[in-house]
Amino acid sequence: MTRAACALVAVALLAGAGCRRPTPPAPEPAEPPLAERALEPGGVPTLEIGTIDWERSADGRELHVEGTVKNVGTRATRSLKVWVEGLDAGGTRIARVPAFPSPQQAAPGTAARFVVRMPNDEGIRSFHVEAIGR
């Protein structure tokens, strides 16, 4: 073999000609981290105010107003809050007191009870109650 031929063989071997290595297989893509979980039932909580009862305190200084908030919707509600307003004969608000019913969560068809104490103003003739929940 001539010197030129040996040089060509050497260059060919250095370049990787004639010697093929198998290509490693491509890694399989990793599966995304998925987790199944149940979805919350559809629908909405709908609150309804029940009967309102009231009485004067023994010393006559306060009015004690109590009632219920019922969830008549199709989904549970939480973080319940009510406002009780004392109204005069013309419907003007004289007093407004917040309350947090118990329990704070109400499944569909269940009710929560609230009690508030407000000043006994002789002008109060009726009550108005508003409720919210999440």
Q: pTM for the complete prediction? A: 0.67
SS3 (DSSP) at 95: strand
- Calculate what percentage of the chain has a pLDDT beyond 70: 83
State the average pLDDT over residues 84-110: 97
| Domains of the chain with CATH codes | 47-132 (2.60.40.10)
How confident is residue 17, by pLDDT bands cut at 50, 70 and 90? low
